[in-house]
């Protein structure tokens, strides 16, 4: 099978001799790949001129809906992917991380896109900044889609997840992508990609695929393109220093190799649940995907007085691992992805062994189930012990990208932190401790050198997602050696494909740019109360101004009786007088919010279905008995829930007193029906 690339809307084969791709267990050639002769400049142009406009025409919510439909589509067809995944050396459990993990990432981005983004094209970043006393000149940061292409270069270890975790945020951002999987396992990426294209769900030009090398693609990059790279530090260095990348300041983010550590805290001695959890996690990280995970634990750091017990426990647990052809259900660890990878790992292992002793994992004892140990890329899980980690170098510098880990003893917490930092920037570290103070100390010491820190103890172990699992909700990446990049992290991941721009202007200009009413912008005086308007008829800026209401001592006392809130500042004049902020009795803030609702709510049946919350509530000034309050309510932002028959409407709400001073401000959040016929029957 000669893999095809998908370029400029068509499947195409490269010319020349294809690279042979082999089954990791049997060594059989299962596919060939070549991209020679493909038009890479044309691919970038097509992405920018066809895919970009098609995606940018859609709102965030429409793009999120595509992600959700894609996730469903792949989910229904995942069996074919699971079958093919065995060829990469993945067990069923490994494939679950890759395939279901990838589909799950699409689902999370779809859901976040719907819930956390507006149904528009502009993402508003942070509050409006006041730049002049008059209020007539403001600043607002916005994000808009870049007009280029996302070039996604992936590693061989997660052919499906690697593609989808990058595609989800890029597509949500409205940026078309060109996917370049690692050649060794490109046949699985190609199969999943074909399913995506065949679904017809993705707009024309939004996705392209290169099976093989990228030819002269880098020569055609511009400042609107983004490269997201996952792979080795060496390749990252080469690509980020490509003259065109430097010259055009092409955005480049890298996830590279990493010497991740996990730390057994002093309280977690043998016999504690945390000790058991630590041992289980190290074994899992060594054997899942045969240790071919950028996040895998390479340094298992333990108090020196626990190192014997840890080594014994790990040795016993690793003896249970069944190595072999992952198609056999008894197998718990498959081969590496290729013989080349095995050669690489054995070479790195030899370097590590110069400074560390072997605890377990003799390669001459390899006897894989249902496979030939020579033709398949098998390797025995190997545990080392580095007795003098302070003087050693290899354990802090060499990544053996396979089932290899080293037990590293430490004496003090400071030394543990110091040894973890010697990875010079890692993706993740984990701490096993039931002592929160120790955990906090370690986390704060590790954080500057890590993109993620996981703390495990007996209370969260059953729910913990594990050391090695990057999650779509959380950032994945790390400083220094880990590449200095960042991916995912929910909506943060989408922003890597967008440009942040500071816009300055009047409130009306900012409202027009963002589609979100800004205080000080024009108020549209509707002929009818805005609560009488169905979702579609509401305009940003539609305003209701209430009559005023006198606040009395009786109001305060009745509210106290009803709510049970008898705080002295509301109830005891003498005590309240000594309060430096109030100097006398004041109304409850929550009374003001309730009274404001009484002033702006339009009671009869109408399109407003529910008030589902309040955002950014601030009490600015106290309200005293005798003050008169009134409310302004302005339609600030609308977001249609596609297919639900209603949308969310955010109302900028301001309560003022008789001197026109703001006493409270907040956003009221409502759900408003699209139906125009929701009206009380005429009397
Ligand atoms: P690699 O050799 O650096 O390859 C990574 C990707 O870069 C592959 O798609 C490769 O394509 C491509 N590539 C290589 N040279 C290129 C060039 N000159 N121009 C454009 N693309 C080029 O890394 P690997 O050996 O596949 O992956 C293993 C490494 O990746 C490990 O060190 C691991 O730690 C790291 N990794 C990191 C993460 C993370 O999220 N941080 C995740 C997984 C793996 P070809 O396959 O066609 O050469």
Q: How far is the CA of 236 from the centre of ligand 1 (A)?
A: 8
Which of 255, 355, 399, 487 does the annotation list as catalytic? Answer: 255
Ligand 1 closest atom vs CA 158: 43
Beta carbon of 256 within 6 Å of any ligand 1 atom: yes
Q: What is the pLDDT of residue 681?
A: 66
Q: How far is 458 from 199, CA to CA, in rounded Å?
A: 44
CB-CB contact of 614 with 593 (8 Å): yes
Q: How far is 500 from 380, CA to CA, in rounded Å?
A: 49
Q: How far is the CA of 88 from the centre of ligand 1 (A)?
A: 16
Report the top-level CATH class of 5-256+492-499: alpha beta
pLDDT exceeds 70 at position 683? no
Which of 211, 262, 294, 516 does the annotation list as catalytic? Answer: 294
Q: How far is the CA of 162 from the centre of ligand 1 (A)?
A: 11
Beta carbon of 508 within 6 Å of any ligand 1 atom: no
Q: How far is the CA of 232 from the centre of ligand 1 (A)?
A: 5
Beta carbon of 191 within 6 Å of any ligand 1 atom: no
Beta carbon of 344 within 6 Å of any ligand 1 atom: no
Beta carbon of 154 within 6 Å of any ligand 1 atom: yes
Average pLDDT over residues 406-416: 97
Q: What is the pLDDT of residue 372?
A: 87
pLDDT exceeds 60 at position 595? yes
Q: What is the pLDDT of residue 183?
A: 96
* Mean pLDDT across the chain: 95
Question: What does the pLDDT look like over 381-406, one tens digit per residue?
Answer: 999 999 999 999 999 999 999 999 99
Angle at 75 between CA 73 and CA 81, to 5 degrees: 105
Q: What is the DSSP letter of 310?
A: H
Q: Among positive and negative, which fits the CA dihedral 285, 290, 295, 300?
A: positive
Average pLDDT over residues 60-78: 97
Q: How far is the CA of 154 from the centre of ligand 1 (A)?
A: 6
Active site residue 223: no
Ligand 1 closest atom vs CA 232: 3
Ligand 1 closest atom vs CA 255: 41
Beta carbon of 453 within 6 Å of any ligand 1 atom: no
Q: What is the DSSP letter of 217?
A: G
Active site residue 320: no
Beta carbon of 255 within 6 Å of any ligand 1 atom: yes
Counting Cβ atoms within 10 Å, is residue 682 exposed (0-12), middle (13-18) or buried (19+)? Answer: exposed
Q: Which of 231, 348, 493 to mutate to test the pocket of ligand 1 (most atoms within 8 A of CB)?
A: 231
Q: What is the pLDDT of residue 16?
A: 84
Give domain 260-472's CATH architecture.
Answer: 3-Layer(aba) Sandwich (3.40)
Q: What is the DSSP letter of 139?
A: E
pTM of the shown model: 0.93
CB-CB contact of 475 with 452 (8 Å): yes
Q: What is the pLDDT of residue 682?
A: 62
Q: Which residues contact 479 (CB under 8 A, 6 or more apart)?
A: 425, 448, 449, 450, 451
Beta carbon of 230 within 6 Å of any ligand 1 atom: yes
- Taking CA atoms only, the protein residue closest to ligand 1 atom 15 is 235
Q: How far is the CA of 98 from the centre of ligand 1 (A)?
A: 17
CATH match of 523-673 with 3.10.129.10:
yes
Q: Which of 24, 38, 155, 342 to mutate to test the pocket of ligand 1 (most atoms within 8 A of CB)?
A: 155
Q: What is the pLDDT of residue 591?
A: 98
Question: What does the pLDDT look like over 12-26, one tens digit per residue?
Answer: 999 988 999 999 999
Beta carbon of 235 within 6 Å of any ligand 1 atom: yes
Ligand 1 closest atom vs CA 236: 3
pLDDT exceeds 60 at position 463? yes
* CA 143 to chain CA centroid, nearest Å: 17
Task: Of 450, 96, 446, 477, give the one whose Cα is nearest residue 294.
Answer: 477
Matching residue, tokens 């046949």: 187
Beta carbon of 289 within 6 Å of any ligand 1 atom: no
Q: How far is 138 from 515, CA to CA, in rounded Å?
A: 15
Domain boundaries defined on the chain? 5-256+492-499, 260-472, 523-673
Helix (H) or strand (E) holding 188: helix 186-199
Q: What is the pLDDT of residue 622?
A: 96
pLDDT exceeds 90 at position 679? no
- Give percent helix, percent strand, percent coil of the chain, each to the nearest 5: 35, 25, 40
Question: What does the pLDDT look like over 474-531, one tens digit per residue?
Answer: 999 999 999 999 999 999 999 999 999 999 999 999 999 999 999 999 999 777 899 9
Pairing mode, strands 382-385 and 404-410: parallel
Take residue 527 and report the two structure tokens written for it.
Answer: 């002929």
Q: How far is the CA of 160 from the centre of ligand 1 (A)?
A: 15
Q: Distance between terminal CA atoms of the chain?
A: 75
CB-CB contact of 353 with 346 (8 Å): no
For 616, the 3-state DSSP assignment is strand
Average pLDDT over residues 197-218: 97
Ligand 1 closest atom vs CA 483: 41
Q: What is the pLDDT of residue 8?
A: 97
Average pLDDT over residues 359-374: 89
pLDDT exceeds 80 at position 275? yes
Q: Which of 14, 188, 235 to mutate to test the pocket of ligand 1 (most atoms within 8 A of CB)?
A: 235
* CA 355 to chain CA centroid, nearest Å: 38
Beta carbon of 185 within 6 Å of any ligand 1 atom: no
């Amino acid at each position: 099978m000669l893999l095809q690339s998908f370029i400029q809307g068509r499947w195409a084969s490269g010319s020349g001799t294809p690279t042979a791709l082999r089954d990791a267990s049997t060594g059989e050639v299962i596919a060939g790949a070549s991209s020679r002769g493909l038009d890479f400049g044309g691919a970038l142009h097509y992405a920018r001129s066809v895919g970009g406009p098609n995606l940018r025409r859609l709102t965030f919510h429409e793009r999120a809906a595509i992600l959700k439909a894609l996730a469903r589509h792949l989910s229904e067809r995942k069996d074919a992917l699971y079958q093919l995944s065995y060829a990469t050396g993945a067990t069923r459990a490994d494939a679950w991380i890759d395939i279901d993990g990838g589909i799950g990432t699409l689902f999370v981005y779809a859901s976040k896109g719907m819930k956390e983004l507006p149904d528009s094209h502009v993402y508003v970043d942070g509050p409006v900044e006041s730049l002049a006393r008059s209020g007539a000149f403001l600043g607002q940061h916005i994000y808009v889609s870049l007009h280029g292409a996302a070039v996604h270069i992936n590693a061989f270890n997660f052919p499906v997840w690697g593609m989808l975790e990058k595609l989800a945020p890029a597509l949500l951002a409205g940026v078309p992508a060109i996917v370049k999987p690692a050649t060794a396992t490109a046949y699985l990426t190609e199969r999943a990609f074909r399913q995506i294209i065949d679904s017809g769900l993705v707009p024309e030009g939004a996705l392209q695929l290169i099976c093989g090398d990228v030819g002269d693609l880098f020569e055609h990059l511009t400042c609107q393109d983004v490269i997201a790279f996952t792979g080795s530090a060496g390749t990252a260095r080469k690509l980020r220093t490509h003259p065109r990348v430097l010259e055009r300041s092409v955005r480049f983010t890298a996830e590279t190799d990493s010497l991740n550590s996990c730390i057994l805290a002093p309280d977690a001695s043998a016999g504690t649940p945390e000790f058991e959890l630590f041992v289980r996690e190290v074994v899992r990280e060594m054997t899942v995907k045969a240790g071919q995970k950028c996040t895998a634990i390479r340094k298992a750091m333990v108090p020196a007085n626990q190192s014997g017990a840890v080594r014994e426990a790990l040795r016993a647990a690793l003896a249970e691992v069944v190595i072999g052809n992952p198609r056999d259900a008894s197998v718990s660890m498959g081969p590496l992805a290729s013989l080349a990878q095995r050669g690489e790992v054995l070479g790195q292992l030899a370097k590590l062994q110069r400074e560390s002793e072997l605890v377990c994992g003799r390669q001459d004892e390899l006897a894989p189930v249902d496979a030939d140990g020579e033709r398949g890329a098998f390797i025995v899980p190997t545990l080392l012990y580095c007795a003098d980690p302070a003087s050693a170098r290899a354990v802090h510098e060499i990544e053996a990208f396979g089932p290899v880990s080293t037990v590293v003893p430490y004496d003090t917490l400071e030394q543990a932190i110091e040894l973890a930092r010697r990875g010079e920037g890692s993706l993740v570290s984990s701490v096993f401790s039931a002592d929160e103070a120790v955990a906090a100390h370690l986390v704060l010491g590790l954080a500057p050198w890590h993109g993620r820190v996981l703390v495990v103890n007996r209370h969260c172990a059953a729910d913990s997602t594990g050391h090695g699992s990057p999650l779509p909700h959380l950032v994945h990446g790390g400083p220094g050696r880990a590449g200095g990049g960042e991916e995912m992290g929910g909506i943060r991941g989408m922003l890597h494909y967008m440009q942040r721009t500071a816009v300055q202007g009047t409130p009306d200009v900012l409202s027009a740019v963002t589609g979100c009413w800004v205080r000080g912008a024009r108020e549209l005086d509707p002929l009818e109360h805005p609560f009488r308007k169905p979702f579609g008829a509401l305009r940003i800026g539609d305003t209701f101004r209430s009559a005023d209401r006198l606040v009395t001592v009786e109001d305060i006392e009745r509210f106290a009786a009803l709510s049970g809130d008898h705080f002295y500042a509301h109830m005891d004049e003498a005590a309240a007088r000594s309060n430096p902020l109030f100097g006398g009795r004041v109304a409850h803030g929550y009374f003001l919010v309730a009274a404001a609702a009484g002033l702006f709510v339009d009671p009869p049946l109408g399109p407003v279905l529910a008030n589902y919350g309040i955002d950014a509530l601030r009490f600015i000034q106290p309200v005293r008995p005798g003050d008169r309050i009134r409310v302004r309510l302005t339609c600030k932002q609308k977001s249609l829930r596609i297919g639900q028959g209603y949308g969310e409407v955010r109302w900028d709400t301001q309560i003022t007193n008789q001197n026109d001073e703001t006493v409270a401000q907040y956003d009221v959040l409502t759900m408003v029906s699209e139906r125009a016929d929701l009206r009380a029957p005429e009397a």
